[in-house]
């Protein structure tokens, strides 16, 4: 479908396509309505995550280590959605399905990198709840702002390094056949399956990437909540136990919305062969819906955030009233 550029090395010739063709959502009836839906989801995602970041930035009571992690989750959600959704809409709604090799690799990196940061941040928030409930007297000593910034810095460094090597491994593949990607974005799996040379390293990296992105964080989150459950069962008073559980509900909802759809989609693919379009729509929804829901859940289900919003609203009303009174006084004078 496109011209091929050949680069020779010592013993073998690598054929690298000038462009890839993203084939996803082929023959989907009324597909344009889905792209309109994606546009609405993106608008809500941008507004919701921008709102929660502004609240955390402006409300002094939220300037804590926990809300640094929440701010980072909102930032990761915003960046991840911005890396994926606008490009998907541009690709299919405006028929820009051909993408250059270099842009495709960069596109792949940012989608995976920010999705990985979302997963790691949910793990960090589980760690925050673990320390808060299991070691309440030492919480402010262990979970400090400095420690949280350090954890986030390590997350960014590790994720950027791993996924640079991850997407860089595509460069060792030779594409001497089709350059059509059966996905809705520059997806790693469908790309390495197009190679006509040995792709065993890429298969291994894809398994490591999936373990890093989904399995390992989920196992660690499960272990942390197992420890939390053991501690909660030892609390003699039911009221104190309920209060502790309430501090975890918003995080548990975020974990459920992020991991359950991804796992369900993968399990369904293994058990019953899904039509390519069904698989791609399910996969795209698992990537775009959690970033939209996260700020809504944290706004509605977290008492500290709701209290901060109410205080800021009252303050703005007082300031508006004072300004009106001052203007009225000036007119009288």
Q: What is the pLDDT of residues 7-42, one digit of tens each?
A: 444 445 678 889 999 998 877 778 888 989 999 999
- Residue 5: per-residue pLDDT: 46
Tokens of 307: 């209290």
- The total number of structural domains in the chain stands at 1
Contact between 271 and 265 (Cβ < 8 Å)? no
Task: State percent of the chain over pLDDT 90.
Answer: 55
Please say if the pLDDT value at position 273 is more than 80.
Answer: no
- Residue 240: per-residue pLDDT: 74
Residue 280, in any domain of the structure: yes
**Mean pLDDT value across residues 66-77:** 95
Residue 11, in any domain of the structure: no
Q: Domain with 241 in it: what CATH number?
A: 1.20.1070.10
Please say if the pLDDT value at position 238 is more than 80.
Answer: no
Residue 122, in any domain of the structure: yes
DSSP letters of 5-68? EEEE-SS-EEEEESEEEE--STT-TTHHHHHHHHHHHHHHHHHHHHHHHHHHHH-GGG-SHHHH
- Residue 221: per-residue pLDDT: 96
Residue 9, in any domain of the structure: no
Residue 118, in any domain of the structure: yes
Q: Which of 31-35, 119-123, 314-318 has the highest mean pLDDT?
A: 119-123
Please say if the pLDDT value at position 331 is more than 50.
Answer: yes
Which candidate, 61, 22, 57, places its Cα nearest to that of 284? 22
Q: State the DSSP H helix or E strand holding residue 162, giving kind and residue range, or none if neither.
A: helix 145-168
Q: What is the pLDDT of residues 73-112, one digit of tens each?
A: 999 999 999 999 999 999 998 888 999 999 999 999 999 9
DSSP state of 3: -
Residue scoring higher pLDDT (63 or 270): 63
- Residue 37: per-residue pLDDT: 93
CA dihedral of 317, 296, 248, 131, whole degrees rounded to 10: -80
Average pLDDT, the chain: 87
Q: Which of 257-266, 269-278, 288-297, 318-327 has the highest mean pLDDT?
A: 288-297
Residues 6+ apart with CB under 8 A from 193: 199
Tokens of 11: 């013993």
pLDDT band at 321 (very low <50, low <70, confident <90, very high): low
Region of 25 on the Ramachandran plot (φ > 0 left; ψ -120 to 50 alpha; else beta): left
DSSP state of 197: S
Reduced to 3 states, what is the DSSP secondary structure of residue 165? helix
Q: What is the pLDDT of residues 179-195, one digit of tens each?
A: 999 999 999 999 999 99
Domain that includes residue 70, residue range: 19-320
d(CA 223, CA 15): 46
- Residue 3: per-residue pLDDT: 43
Q: What is the pLDDT of residues 138-182, one digit of tens each?
A: 999 999 999 999 999 999 999 999 999 999 999 989 998 889 999
Tokens of 175: 């594409």
Residue 310, in any domain of the structure: yes
Specify burial of residue 251 (Cβ count, 10 A radius: 0-12, 13-18, 19+). Answer: buried
d(CA 312, CA 289): 28
Residue 230, in any domain of the structure: yes
d(CA 268, CA 272): 6
Please say if the pLDDT value at position 222 is more than 60.
Answer: yes
Q: Residues for the chain: how many in total?
A: 333
Residue 10, in any domain of the structure: no
- Residue 270: per-residue pLDDT: 75
């Amino acid at each position: 479908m496109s011209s091929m550029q050949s680069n020779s090395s010592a013993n073998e010739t690598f054929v690298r396509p000038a462009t890839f063709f993203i084939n996803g959502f082929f023959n989907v009836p009324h597909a344009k309505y889905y792209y309109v839906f994606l546009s609405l989801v993106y608008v809500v995602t941008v507004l919701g995550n921008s709102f929660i970041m502004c609240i955390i930035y402006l409300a002094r009571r939220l300037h804590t280590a926990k809300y640094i992690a929440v701010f980072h989750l909102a930032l990761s959600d915003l960046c991840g959605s911005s890396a994926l959704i606008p490009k998907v809409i541009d690709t299919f709604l405006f028929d820009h399905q051909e993408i250059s090799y270099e842009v495709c690799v960069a596109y792949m990196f940012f989608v995976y990198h920010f999705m990985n940061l979302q997963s790691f941040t949910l793990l960090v928030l589980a760690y925050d709840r673990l320390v808060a409930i299991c070691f309440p007297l030492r919480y402010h000593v262990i979970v400090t702002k400095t420690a949280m910034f350090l954890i986030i810095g390590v997350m960014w460094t590790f994720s950027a390094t791993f996924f640079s090597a991850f997407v860089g491994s595509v460069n060792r593949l030779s594409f001497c056949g089709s350059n059509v990607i059966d996905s809705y974005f520059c997806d790693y799996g469908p790309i390495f399956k197009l190679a006509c040379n040995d792709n065993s390293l890429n298969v291994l990296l894809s398994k490591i990437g999936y373990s890093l992105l989904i399995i390992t964080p989920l196992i660690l989150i499960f272990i942390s909540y197992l420890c939390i459950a053991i501690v909660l069962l030892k609390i003699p008073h039911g009221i104190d136990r309920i209060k502790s559980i309430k501090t975890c509900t918003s995080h548990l909802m975020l974990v459920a919305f992020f991991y359950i759809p991804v796992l369900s989609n993968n399990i369904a693919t293994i058990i019953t062969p899904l039509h390519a379009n069904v698989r791609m729509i399910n996969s795209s929804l698992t990537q775009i819906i959690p970033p939209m829901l996260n700020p809504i859940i944290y706004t509605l289900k977290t008492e500290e955030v709701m209290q901060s919003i109410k205080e800021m609203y009252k303050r703005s009303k007082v300031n508006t009233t004072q300004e009106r009174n001052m203007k009225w006084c000036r007119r009288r004078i």
